Amino acid sequence: MTNETNSNPAAAHQAPLRVFPGMDANAVPAPAESRGTFSFIRQLGIDFVRRTVEWIGMESPTPQTSSRVPVTEVLVEAEAPPSDHASVGDFISTYATWADVVELPRTIHEAVAMQLVASLLNRAGVYIRNGRIWYPMDLWMVLLTESGGGRSTQLGFAADILKSAGISGLLNDCRWGSAPAFLQELSDNLTGHLYLWSEMSEKLALFNSGTFQAYGAKSWLTDRYDNRTTPEEVRYRSTNKSSDTPPITFAVAPRINILAASSENWFYTNLAEDDSAGGWLPRWVFVRVGKRARSCARPAEPDPAVAATLSSQLQAISKLSGEATMPEEIWQDYELWYEETQRIFESHPSPALAVPYWNRHKGMILKLAVIFEASANHRLVVGWDSWKRAKEKSAELVHDIFDMLDTKMTATGYTLKRYEDHIRDRGSDGLLKSEFTYAFKDDPDREKHLTTLFGGDVIHQFIRPGKGRPGTILVHRDHCSGRCGRCGTVVTV
């Protein structure tokens, strides 16, 4: 088998779902103007149900025969076949409830639990195949929250549960002083690696500087994702002296899981220009949570009795090994999901930017199905409930991907999107230019970025006369309604 070079819905991300221009229920989404994204969940649901209804003949007065699986095994909303095993307690749901004692939304806790399950499966060599394509449980996940939202606390909860379960040798928490030290660590530990990065931007800055950049450490790490090939030995100049640096030798391909956290601002600030096109970013799962879920002045301590249950569940999951499988009827449902989702990615206004993320996501959903099955039932034969959860989580992740693609995955693009969103949020009343200047007073390139938005027909401006000095109003094109020369008749308000 060869390695492929690819690339319960929660209200975690509160940004509105936007409908892609030109999209309707009876047509494949077509490319449109490069303004905004569209609602993945809405389109996938419409197209998926419509196509399913068509081929089972529900719109025809004459029943049709088909060799495909029955509708009860295809529709997401359909009742799945009865389970042939008793529930043993879902680790992800239990962990999310146990850790939900701070202001962060539940989605963050679910993501942490998913990573713990994936890391244990990866260390045990669990994988799932799609033909000759081999997917290990490599999972690189970054939690994007507000600054100071308690991300580090959540990573600490994860470490505590691993310790409570008596699972050692999985968590790596060292700081590398050089690129060779980074490679040496990965060659020394052959039982899997879980890295908890409390601030991903710090690691991005590290990989983009000094010996790490000169050595190509980030490119090397990027190539390890889902890769079964044993890395080449690293040799140094030999002088036949005892002081010679020994070679770095890998006995097996290292399996790597990363759970990182960052504020969005710091994350984008430390991105390199080629991080998206070069394949680094498409390998990551982005979990965006927006505002805090609640106000919590005095967080409670997690329940120690539940912690004991979680430890037992982790121990059971850690005993799983080998190949994960899915029944043929689920594979057929995967084919339907694949066709619809691929079209959605390819219809993005910038397909060259979006398709690399699709190339990774088509395998990620299979990993999610395995993770949910191991979490819920401590087994590696994926059932319908786990497959349905994987599709629901996939819809959330794709929405976040498309929302982030609006930034072009660059620091400048992120700044422009912040400006655009800030002005759009003021609706038809618009925003005084002076208020905008004050809000972004710390950005020395503020006027240059605003000029870019003017030139791209994203932000319009008009003059509001009144007593004293006339005020310049900034308004998003979605709310302008003809009050500037670009929208039509100039209207004085």
List all residues 6 or more positions away from 185 whose beta carbon is below 8 Å from its beta carbon: 172, 174, 176
Name the band, by pLDDT with cuts 50, 70 and 90, for residue 299.
Answer: confident
Residue 466, pLDDT above cutoff 70:
no
pLDDT digits (tens, 9 = 90+) for 40-49: 444 454 454 4
Specify the pTM.
0.77
pLDDT digits (tens, 9 = 90+) for 74-104: 333 334 444 433 345 899 999 999 998 877 8
Residue 408, pLDDT above cutoff 90:
no
pLDDT digits (tens, 9 = 90+) for 205-231: 899 888 899 889 999 999 999 999 999
pLDDT value of position 445: 92
Asked which of 104-108, 138-142, 281-285 is least confident by mean pLDDT, the reply is 104-108
pLDDT over 70, % of the chain = 76
Name the band, by pLDDT with cuts 50, 70 and 90, for residue 343.
Answer: very high
Asked which of 4-18, 152-166, 434-448 is least confident by mean pLDDT, the reply is 4-18
67 or 206: whose pLDDT is higher? 206
- Token pair, residue 252, equals 């097996």
